[in-house]
Chain A
Amino acid sequence: MTAVLQVLNGLTIGAIYILLASGLTIVFGLQGIVNIAHGVFYMLGAYLAITLYPRIGFALTVVAVFVVTALLGLGLEVTGVRPLVRWRRPGTQVLVLTLGVAIIASELTKLAWGPVPQLSDVPAGLTGVVSLGPILYPKYWLFVMAFTAVFMTALAVAFNRTTLGILVQSIALNSEISQAMGTNAPRINSMVFALGSGVAGIAGVLAGPILSVYPTMCFDLLIILFVVVILGGLGSLLGIVVSGILIGLVNAFGVAYLTGTAGNILAFAVMIAVLVFRPLGLFGRAGILK
């Protein structure tokens, strides 16, 4: 029975990884950059939820957090990332920039909310457990899985069936030719960056009651998130779904049967083992990863 329980735990944690990794990996596919400040939006979402949820309820909190983090993401893209990309600076300078942003945000969070780890409340309608045959499982954790499943399905449809999705794919394939055909790539890049930041904010809201909320969480989670993104193959959506679930499961079983950090060490081992045989990750393609 505990094994089934761990599978469910792994899927829940994996669901949060997937939500977070989606923004990171799409932005990489489009602009070839890694945004270290991605974890900041997640952290901000979690902290805003702690402050907002008791006042305005869960649904409004999700909406508010999405709007705030998406706008902040837009601000970062337009004022920071876009100029660097336009000046043709190496991708590593975006790393240094977003690292600076993440360090400052983490420190400001510590000043605003204090250094002590917190847990946010489970939303009112989602407390309690559901009985799944012989085992009881928290309703909220199932909700997180369902939310991610719906979101990723919607994302896949949007990616393949809408005009915007097709344009995004064309930029990912070849930004210059896509722009020569009339695509406004900078605007679409900004939109996608903002959306990814907003989704990271929502992931923070969802993770609040499950994982603890503290001022350096934006770095701690980022590490495992990188593992998910590399393992799946940078720029691949299908990749992060598979690797998100895989790393979630490795983590859950490691925590349950070994020790807390053993789960993370195992995740690194899996990543290294995969990279030895598939340098581009499970679903990485040479065309996108330059």
Chain B
Amino acid sequence: MISRRGLVAGALILVVAAMPALLAGTRYANYVEHLIASAMLLGLYAMAWDFLNGYVGIFSFGHAAFFGAGAYAAGILIVRAGITSAPVILLAAVAVAALVGLGVGFLCARVGSVAVFLVTFACAEALYLIVLTDPRGVTNGDNGLPGVVPAPFLGIDLGRQLIFYYVTLVVVVGSYLVLHRLTRSQFGQVLLGIRENEVRVHFAGYRVEQYKTAAVAISAMFAGLAGALTAFHERIASPENFSWPLSGDAVLYATLGGTGTLLGPFLGAAVVILAREVLSDLVRSWLIFVGATYIALVFFLPDGLYPLLFRKETRSRRSSASG
């Protein structure tokens, strides 16, 4: 028995998988494939954010810290250290992001719910400034690290767009399955408990701080994975990977798509990226649309697009992070 959610997710995967074949030979093929791959990666990044906000109640406004950590881990390994093996780079990127996540998570677990927002923001901004000023001559400041191209591995050349496209699809589906499985596990149930009532979980004998730190680190790993793959995709690790508008993007994609759903963020990322492509040519200021979307979402669509399409399977997220 397959759930409706599973059916729709499967249909989506089929469409994405079939897209290159449908487009083959047309002059849009390259452009559309690049766009869909970007949407998948940003969706993965926003899903990592959603895992933290929707299932643990931690509202991060510094997810770019993890995305950037992954991107720069890949960039530094390839450009500075000359290590070009894709699996090694991806593993290292995930590990570096996890370390950053442990540090940020340690702070997050100690401060109050609204202060988490400020702390994550400050941490990401500090990393952004360090990368930008480049005190040790590693990150190449403003210009970032161009030339982030991994070597072929077992005949899989991530430098080729179509191959990258399908590898990304596999990684994204795999990441979703892992996170989905995690939220249904006992560990995930404790996290849900923390979202609903932290004090009660604490008195039930769980070490809330450790669970929260671990959750931030897990979320950071997936955001870092998205960052490293994006660096491959764009062939550059740039300071924008650490900047606060990227942190805001995670919030935008996930709240537009619907938080606490894991699938919603992909929906949000797809809609925003499509809208950006169409509208940014037509209007003078794309950002005004972003701002207006935030405001409209809060008032008219607090649960996002997801519940409009799917039967909502997770519980309300209303209780998270009230001040």
Q: Which residues of A contact B (CB under 8 A)?
A: 28, 31-34, 80, 83-84, 88-97, 99-104, 106-108, 110-111, 219, 223, 226-227, 229-230, 234, 259, 261-262, 264-265, 268-269, 271-272, 275-276, 279-280, 289-290
A21 to chain B, nearest CB (A): 12
Assign chain B's interface to a size class: 35 or more
With A90-B323, A111-B284 known, 4 other A-B pairs at CB within 8 A are A31-B323, A92-B320, A95-B59, A102-B291
Q: Which of A83, A90, A227 has the most CB of B within 10 A?
A: A90
Is B115 within 8 A of A289, CB to CB? yes
| Contact flag A262-B118 (CB < 8 Å), given A32-B322, A88-B322, A272-B107 | no
Give the CA-CA distance A288 to B114 in the complex, in Å: 12
* Residue of chain A at shortest CB distance from B109: A279
Is B111 within 8 A of A97, CB to CB? no
Contact partners of B173 in chain A: CB under 8 A: none
Determine, out of B24-32, B76-84, B125-133, B270-278, the stretch whose residues face the partner at the interface: B125-133
Interface of A is mostly: helix
Q: Which residues of B contact A (CB under 8 A)?
A: 53, 59, 61, 106-107, 110-115, 117-119, 121-123, 125-126, 129-130, 132-133, 244, 248, 251, 255, 284-285, 287-288, 290-295, 297-299, 302, 317-323
* Residue of chain B at shortest CB distance from A105: B291
* Residue of chain A at shortest CB distance from B251: A96
Is A101 within 8 A of B118, CB to CB? no
| Contact flag A89-B302 (CB < 8 Å), given A226-B121, A234-B112 | yes
* Residue of chain B at shortest CB distance from A84: B298
B297 to chain A, nearest CB (A): 7
| Contact flag A103-B290 (CB < 8 Å), given A84-B298, A97-B298, A272-B107 | yes
Contact partners of A34 in chain B: CB under 8 A: 114, 117-118
Give the CA-CA distance A93 to B290 in the complex, in Å: 15
19 A-B pairs with CB atoms under 8 Å apart are: A31-B323, A91-B322, A91-B323, A92-B117, A99-B294, A100-B292, A100-B294, A100-B298, A230-B118, A234-B114, A265-B130, A268-B122, A268-B123, A269-B126, A272-B107, A275-B111, A275-B119, A289-B112, A290-B323
B58 to chain A, nearest CB (A): 10
Query: A275 touches which one: B110, B125, B248 (CB < 8 A)?
Result: B110
Give the CA-CA distance A103 to B323 in the complex, in Å: 23
Is A96 within 8 A of B291, CB to CB? no
* Residue of chain A at shortest CB distance from B323: A32
Contact partners of B323 in chain A: CB under 8 A: 28, 31-33, 90-91, 94, 290
Is B287 within 8 A of A90, CB to CB? no
Give the CA-CA distance A269 to B103 in the complex, in Å: 13
Contact partners of A92 in chain B: CB under 8 A: 53, 59, 114, 117, 320-321
A261 to chain B, nearest CB (A): 5
Is B118 within 8 A of A229, CB to CB? yes
Give the CA-CA distance A290 to B321 in the complex, in Å: 9
| Contact flag A103-B133 (CB < 8 Å), given A91-B113, A234-B114 | no
Is A108 within 8 A of B288, CB to CB? yes
Give the CA-CA distance A95 to B295 in the complex, in Å: 10
* Residue of chain B at shortest CB distance from A264: B129
A76 to chain B, nearest CB (A): 11
Is B122 within 8 A of A90, CB to CB? no
Is B295 within 8 A of A101, CB to CB? yes
Query: A262 touches which one: B110, B111, B133 (CB < 8 A)?
Result: B133
| Contact flag A275-B107 (CB < 8 Å), given A31-B323, A280-B112 | yes
Contact partners of A108 in chain B: CB under 8 A: 288
Contact partners of B126 in chain A: CB under 8 A: 264-265, 268-269, 272
B305 to chain A, nearest CB (A): 15
Is A95 within 8 A of B112, CB to CB? no
Give the CA-CA distance A72 to B204 in the complex, in Å: 46
Give the CA-CA distance A97 to B302 in the complex, in Å: 11
Contact partners of B321 in chain A: CB under 8 A: 90-92
Query: A103 touches which one: B59, B115, B129, B294 (CB < 8 A)?
Result: B294
Give the CA-CA distance A111 to B114 in the complex, in Å: 32
Is B318 within 8 A of A100, CB to CB? no
Give the CA-CA distance A234 to B126 in the complex, in Å: 20
Contact partners of A100 in chain B: CB under 8 A: 290-295, 298
